[in-house]
Amino acid sequence: MEKQKERKASMPGWLTILLAVSCGIIVANLYYAQTLVGPISEATGLSAAAAGLIVTITQVGYVLGLLFIVPLSDIIENRNLAVFSLSVVVLALFAAMAARTAAVFLTASLIIGLGSVVAQILVPYATYLASEEERGRVVGNVMSGLLFGIMFARPVASFVASFFNWQAVFLMSGVLVILLIVLLFFALPKRKPTPTVHYGALIVSLGAIFKQTPILRRRAFYQASLFGAFSLFWTVIPLHLANHFGVTQRGIAWFALAGVGGAVAAPIAGRLADKGWTRKLTGAAISLAALSFLVALVLPNHSIVSLAILVIVAITLDMAVSGNLVLGQRAIYSLGQQARGRLNGLFMSIFFIGGAVGSSLGGWAYAHGGWKLAALIGCLLPVIAYVYYLTEKKTEVKAAQ
């Protein structure tokens, strides 16, 4: 009876849904501009050579936020931190909408990236509310919301801009985030961590945590490799579809929607990880990513069959990345509560750096060797991760369960 009393109550389903939807709405802000680079560049006076900064600056802001804002969740009341950060995001979204110069838009983009790390405050926050037995399921469900946000952002931005204009995308997001702030403020229970160090020591401790936590390094490398392949694919595929299949902007948006199906792997992976399947699922996810690119590499050119297979490749690649992400987060959240915010910040920043590298490699490869070179590099990234996966020791496997 005593053990039953001490056991943490199950997390309400409505709260899981709220956190999942919140993460999706927040993280989508990182990706809206990817399909709007052309009209934004024209409106703000950015040259074609500098247009890539529209996406890059937002990602830079996100990585900075992961390193310097997310750790605050280990010492500051989480609900207030989330609400304040999202309020700043709203101001930045409206500034981006009204921008007439590149300097204003890029500054707003940096701040949007910084504030959008609230999604990575809410994910570990969910693990504090969940019992140990349901943690993988809860993380999987919340992360599926985040992944839906990532995958829906591009097609949604394209559709909204095609019916209205690019400014309408930022207006829409600003209104959604305002509604989200109100919901989170009244619905979330407060979570006040007990600080054991001040902020300066907290940031300095990131290096020590990284050095002393082999599971973090391993899971971050796996995910950086897969997210690098994912980012390479979604950087190159719009160009490939337009140049070699004659697909229009709206058609590319429909193609991007197909990839959303891959997000179903997140909650499934979470449930199976709760049963101790982490290692097997990790190997399966890495293998699926490599096989997806291998299939894309050997496709015959420009046929309807090839286009259909590319849709399947988009889904399986997204399944691999989303499933492995949940496995990685569940593993690092099992390492302890006091540093969970810092662990998550390090994990996410490392794999987002992998994504940035993948995007850069994709653009370079497509310019110099077309789809074949890009797909070859995309295949090599998970292969490298699989070689590293084979070195995983039994003690690491047990610790990650």
Q: Can you give the pLDDT of all 401 residues of the chain as single tens digits? A: 334 434 456 677 788 889 999 999 999 998 888 777 768 878 888 765 566 577 778 888 988 998 888 888 878 888 899 999 999 999 999 999 999 998 999 999 999 999 999 988 888 788 777 776 676 778 778 877 887 888 788 888 888 888 888 999 999 999 999 999 999 999 888 877 766 677 788 788 888 888 888 889 999 999 999 998 988 888 788 778 878 888 776 787 788 787 777 767 767 777 777 777 888 899 999 999 999 999 988 877 777 888 889 999 999 998 898 888 888 878 887 776 656 667 877 888 888 888 878 877 887 788 788 889 999 999 999 999 999 999 987 555 555 55
pLDDT of residue 394: 58
CA contacts within 13 A on the Cβ side of 154 = 24
pLDDT of residue 4: 40
Question: With contact defined as beta carbons under 8 Å apart, do 261 and 315 qualify?
Answer: yes
pLDDT of residue 113: 93
pLDDT of residue 82: 92
Rounded CA gap, 184 and 355, in Å?
Answer: 29
Rounded CA gap, 372 and 298, in Å?
Answer: 8
**CA dist list (Å): 188 to 26, 175, 184, 296:** 16, 20, 5, 44
CA contacts within 13 A on the Cβ side of 107 = 10
Superfamily of domain 197-401: MFS general substrate transporter like domains (1.20.1250.20)
The H-or-E segment that residue 312 falls in is helix 304-333
pLDDT of residue 3: 41
Report domain extents, the chain: 10-195, 197-401
Rounded CA gap, 365 and 378, in Å?
Answer: 10
Coil, strand, or helix at residue 194?
coil
Least Cα distance to 375 among 222, 261, 282, 239 occurs for 239
From the candidate CATH numbers 3.10.20.740, 1.10.1740.10, 1.20.1250.20, 1.10.4160.10, the one assigned to the domain spanning 10-195: 1.20.1250.20
User: Do the domains 10-195 and 197-401 sit in the same CATH topology, yes or no?
Assistant: yes
State which amino acid sits at residue 380. Answer: L
**Look-up: residue for tokens 């199976």?**
272
Indicate the length of the chain as a whole number: 401
CA angle 21, 24, 27 (to 5 degrees): 145
